[in-house]
Amino acid sequence: TAIPARQNVPRGMRGVVSLDDLEARARRHLPVPIFGYIAGQAESGAAYTGNRSAFEKYLFSPNVLRGTKDRDQSVGLFGRRYSRPFGIAPMGLSALAAYDGDIALANGAYDRDTVAILSATSLTPLERVAKEGPSHWFQAYFPGDHDRVRAMVERIAAAGFETLVVTVDVPVNGNREIDKRNRFVTPIEPTPKLFLQGATRPAWSFGTAFKTLMRHGMPRFANLDVGEGPPIVARNIERSFSGREAFAWEHLETARKHWKGNLVLKGVLRPDDAIRALDVGCDGLIVSSHGGRQLDSMIAPLDALPGIRAAVGPNVPVLIDSGLRRGTEVLKALALGADFAFVGRPFLYAAALAGRPGVTRAFDILSEEVDRNMAMIGLQSLSGIRDANGNSHFVLH
Ligand code: FNR
């Protein structure tokens, strides 16, 4: 995992040495309402801050003299081998921040032999991302309607996706006050303020907004349902989000019945829900607080992880996201019971700043941290991070 030399670093990523550096850069590059939407947190921000501070409670207790010369951070998941233990979480509206953002994220992950999950609220038709990505994980928001669930499952399968992630922590949208303050609410109003913002952010205006309008026309919600969704400026947009509140276990059973690939439930934080998901036939779970964007004041995914791992046993894939920014944090999540981690916001910032090469660069930065930390902990491969009982020698509680 040697990190490529400086001359290979895309312009927008020069001087970025950690994923935490990306937020400030993206803030300068993006219009205020779009940056606010990505950075946004629910209400007081407690869930968001808690995601991150949870990692500080766990510390490594490293082994020395293990001989860790040929380190390998690859992991197996759902019958595939991924070159590193992390990928990109699904993020809606990515194509507003970066030109062809969903495809840049998918290809950046492809370049580094890992995965980017395509979001239900993305603006690029899933069929296009499956072909041009290529992408094989899709995230859906389902309505509480068996027929619509079935039709959507068929569409996702026809496009060739292998893994379906069903997100269940958005029965209603989170209360992100920053979006209200910035008037970034759907339908998006093309206000004079937005145009003014564009004028002061020419790299975004020409490189993303203008190029998108010229090549693809007005962005639409392309993947919320079967058929072409409404443009983001449509007045009757609420209808396409309808029905999510009614989505319940019985509808998940319908999805399971018709979906032949891997089924993963995202947004699970309790052992009882984890067990129920397995009863319904889910193949894996993503322990997530939606990046602190939904319920304010809730348990951090890292703290929920050991209980969920204990409940489902050693063989069920348990994945995690929310607040991971460092190699040490990826390793702590793995030590505490995760098989794989997802990172959200920093990758979208990287895509906005430098497109596909920006995304691959962000992967290199985080992988280099994982690699360096494995050496210092005394780990040659990630299979040694937990023992058969799920206990880790590397973390002190
Ligand atoms: C998200 N997230 C998300 N999750 C999901 O299942 N479907 C979606 O459409 C979206 N959309 C979305 C947009 C944006 C801008 C962000 C930042 C996040 C949540 C995402 O998948 C993931 O759970 C968090 O982003 C992880 O937290 P971090 O890494 O961003 O802190």
Q: Is residue 308 part of a domain?
A: yes
Atom of ligand 1 nearest to the CA of 90: 21
Q: Is residue 1 part of a domain?
A: no
Q: What is the rounded CA–CA span in Å between residue 302 and residue 307?
A: 10
Tell me what ipTM this predicted complex has.
1.00
Give catalytic residues, as residue numbers. 290
Tell me if residue 85 falls in helix, strand or coil: coil
CA of 214 to the centre of ligand 1 (A): 28
* pLDDT tens per residue across span 109-127: 999 999 999 999 999 999 9
Query: For a pocket test of ligand 1, which of 34, 88, 91, 285 has the largest count of ligand atoms closer than 8 A to its C-beta?
Result: 91
Q: Is residue 141 part of a domain?
A: yes
* pLDDT tens per residue across span 149-172: 999 999 999 999 999 999 999 999
Atom of ligand 1 nearest to the CA of 121: 9
CA of 341 to the centre of ligand 1 (A): 13
C-alpha triplet 90, 96, 99: angle, nearest 5°: 95
The set of protein residues with a Cβ atom below 6 angstroms from ligand 1 is 37-38, 89-92, 119-121, 139, 167, 266, 288, 290-291, 293, 321-324, 343-345
pTM of this structure: 0.97
Task: Considering only residues 122 and 7, tell me which one the structure prediction assigns the higher pLDDT.
Answer: 122
Query: For a pocket test of ligand 1, which of 115, 163, 265, 293 has the largest count of ligand atoms closer than 8 A to its C-beta?
Result: 293
Q: Which residues contact 165 (CB under 8 A, 6 or more apart)?
A: 90, 117, 137, 138, 139, 140, 264, 265, 266, 286
Number of domains making up the chain: 1
> Domain range spanning residue 91?
6-396
Torsion of CA 203, 206, 212, 218, to 10 degrees: 110
Q: Residue 242 phi/psi, 5° resolution?
A: -70, 155
Give the pLDDT of residue 236: 64
Give the pLDDT of residue 7: 63
Tell me if residue 46 falls in helix, strand or coil: helix
Give me the chain's average pLDDT, please: 93
Atom of ligand 1 nearest to the CA of 139: 6
**Strand 86-88 relative to strand 163-167, pairing:** unpaired
Q: Is residue 201 part of a domain?
A: yes
CA of 195 to the centre of ligand 1 (A): 26
Give yes or no for residue 5 having a pLDDT over 70: no
Q: Whose CA is nearest to atom 1 of ligand 1?
A: 91
CATH number at residue 326: 3.20.20.70
